[in-house]
Amino acid sequence: MFKNLCNTFLPLFLISIIFAGCSVKKEIPPNILFIMSDDHAEQAISCYGSKLINTPNIDRIANEGIRFTNSFVTNSICGPSRAVLLTGKYSHLNGFRDNRDLFDSSQTTFPKLLQKAGYETHVIGKWHLRSTPTGFDNWKILKGQGQYYNPLFLENGKENIRTGYTTDIITDLTIEALENRSKEKPFCMLIHHKAPHRNWMPNAKYFEEFENIEFPLPETFYDEYKTREKTAGHADMRIDDMYLSFDLKLHKNYYDKETGTGGNAKFASKVELNWLAIYNRMNAEQKKLWDGHYNKINEEFKKANLKGNKLLEWKYQQYMKDYLRCILSVDESIGRILNYLDENGLAKNTIVVYTSDQGFYLGEHGWYDKRFMYEESHSMPLVIRYPKQIPSGQVSDLMALNLDFAPTFLDFANVTIPNDVQGNSLRNILENNKTDNWRKSVYYHYYEYPHGWHKVKKHCGVRTEDHKLIHFYDDDIWELYDLKKDPNELKNIYTDPSYADINNDLKNELSRLQKEYKDSSF
C-alpha cells in the first residue's frame, strides 16, 4: 500500500518541490486537454468570423480564453502536422515529411516527457503516423485514415470495430477515459477527430441542417491562376474534379460517368468500388437513415442533368453542406467535453486547446484540400482556455505555429524543454500578454510531390505580417504576395521591380530561417 502511494504521489511531489524553488508551496500541474480536428478551416468557425456556420462551443473556448488570428502550420498535411505537434520539430528533423513516411516512435515527444514527469497520458482518435504510439498510458486510435461509420480502432494494441458515428465514439471514449483516470495524477489527453476530413460523411442527426441554404461562392472561386500557372494552376484539387460517388455521395446509376481525377488518377479507376465499400460499412439502420436523405439528392441530380458551371456550383453546394455538417458533430463533441469538465470540477485547472492539423480550401481558388502555403491552408485555427492562468477574452495577432505546442505544454507542466525543440512556448503570451522578442516571420516547407495526391509541387517559404515569399524549388519558380494589398493572393508580384527591396529582404530572411532550423530547399 505504502509503495503504491509512493509510486503515484512521489513524482508529483518531486515536481512541486523542484519547481517551487524548494519552497513549501505546492504547485498543482495543469491538466492538458488537446482537441484537434482534421482539415477544419478557420472559414468554418464562427469566432473566426464565419458566416457559414455557428460553432458555439469552439467560440466558448475562445471567449473564455484566447484566440490566435495568425496561427500557422509548418507543413500543411495530416501526418506531418501530427509529427510536428508531438516533437516540436520541423519535418526534416522529426523525419516525417509526407504521408508515406513512418514516424520514428523512439524519438523524444512531449507526451513521453509529461508521462515521465507524472502525467497520465492518452491519445484518442486519429493517429496517422503509421508506427505504434509511444509515451501513452492509454491509446485508442483509428487504424489508418479511419472511417466515419463503424470505425476500426486499435486499442492499446488490439483491433476493435466500434458501432456508431466516429466523432461521437471519440467523444464517448474521451469521457470514459476522463471518468476512469487516476485521480492522483494530472492528465494529458490528445483527442484527435477524423472529421471533417474528406469524404465528409455527416451524422444522420445533422442531415437536415443547411438543407435549403445556398452558400455564396468565395470571391476566388473562378480563379484562373494567372501569374501562378505552373504552381496553383498545376494542382489537381479543383471542386470541378471531385468524384460524384466518393465525394458527393451519388450512386453510379444516377450519373453517366465519374468526373475528374479527384486528385489521384490511380484512385479514380476504382473510386466507385471504394465508395460502395464505404457505404457498405453502414449497418441496415444507418443505411436507412442515409438513403432517406441521399436518395432524394441522387434523384434530383439525375433529373436536373446539370452541365458546365451549373454542375460545378452544384458540387460546391453539396461539398459545403456535408463538410459543415461534419463540423456540427465536432462542435457538439467539444460542448460535451467542456460540460464534463464543468460538472467534475476540472475546468479551472485544465488547459483546453482546440485546433486543426491545418486549414482547408472551402472553394477558394476553386479548390478543396490543403498543402499550399497560401493563406487558407497555411492557417490553422487556435483557441486556448485555462481559467486559472489565462485571462479571458483575449485575441492575439502574434504568429503562433504548431511547432509551439510541445514547448508550451512542457512549460505549463514545469518540465524542462529539450534544447533541440524548435518551437517557442506560448506561455508568456497567454498568461502575461508579453510579446517581446516574439518571432516576426514563419518558415514553411511542403514535400509531397510527385507522389500521392493533388499534384502540389514541393515548396518552402517565409511569411511576415505583410508579405509572403514562396519558392517552388524543383522548378525554381518564385512567388511573392503583398498580403495587405492582395489578401486573396491572386497576383504574384515576384518580378515587379517596385518590390525588389522587399524581395531581397525576404530572401535573406528565408536563408536565415533555414539556417536557424537546420533546413535547406534540397
* Interface residues toward Ca ion, by CB under 5 A: 38-39, 78, 357
Place of cell 521591380: 497
Beta strand 152-155 with 138-142: parallel, antiparallel or unpaired? antiparallel
- Which residues, 6+ apart, have CB-to-CB distance to 87 below 8 Å? 93, 94, 107, 108, 109, 110, 406, 421
Cell of 108: 523524444
DSSP classification of residue 75: S
Under a CB-based contact definition with an 8 Å cutoff, are residues 209 and 324 in contact?
yes
Torsion sign across C-alpha atoms 55, 56, 57, 63: positive
Report, in Å, the least distance between residue 371 CB and Ca ion.
Answer: 10
Closer CB to Ca ion, 38 or 247, in the complex: 38
Residue number of the CB closest to Ca ion reads 78
Exposed, middle or buried: residue 107 (CB in 10 Å: 0-12, 13-18, 19+)? middle
- Which residues, 6+ apart, have CB-to-CB distance to 163 below 8 Å? 150, 283
Cα end-to-end span (Å), the chain:
58
Give dist(CA 388, CA 151) in Å, integer.
37
DSSP 240-257: GG--TTTTT---GGGSSS
Closer CB to Ca ion, 38 or 332, in the complex: 38
Give dist(CA 260, CA 417) in Å, integer.
48
Give dist(CA 416, CA 117) in Å, integer.
10
Closer CB to Ca ion, 75 or 396, in the complex: 75
Q: Which of 348, 354, 340 is nearest to 173 (CA)?
A: 340
Under a CB-based contact definition with an 8 Å cutoff, are residues 40 and 356 in contact?
yes
Cis before 419? omega within 30: no
Give dist(CA 259, CA 148) in Å, integer.
24
Q: Is 103 helix (H, G, I), strand (E, B) or coil?
A: coil
Closer CB to Ca ion, 38 or 64, in the complex: 38
Closer CB to Ca ion, 77 or 334, in the complex: 77
Q: Which of 141, 112, 111 is nearest to 125 (CA)?
A: 141
Closer CB to Ca ion, 357 or 375, in the complex: 357
Under a CB-based contact definition with an 8 Å cutoff, are residues 365 and 387 in contact?
no
Closer CB to Ca ion, 35 or 513, in the complex: 35
Report, in Å, the least distance between residue 128 CB and Ca ion.
Answer: 8
Q: Which of 350, 56, 21, 34 is nearest to 186 (CA)?
A: 350
Closer CB to Ca ion, 126 or 238, in the complex: 126
Closer CB to Ca ion, 241 or 369, in the complex: 369
Cis before 11? omega within 30: no
Under a CB-based contact definition with an 8 Å cutoff, are residues 235 and 372 in contact?
yes
Closer CB to Ca ion, 78 or 382, in the complex: 78
Closer CB to Ca ion, 38 or 404, in the complex: 38
Give dist(CA 363, CA 427) in Å, integer.
35
Place of cell 509512493: 6
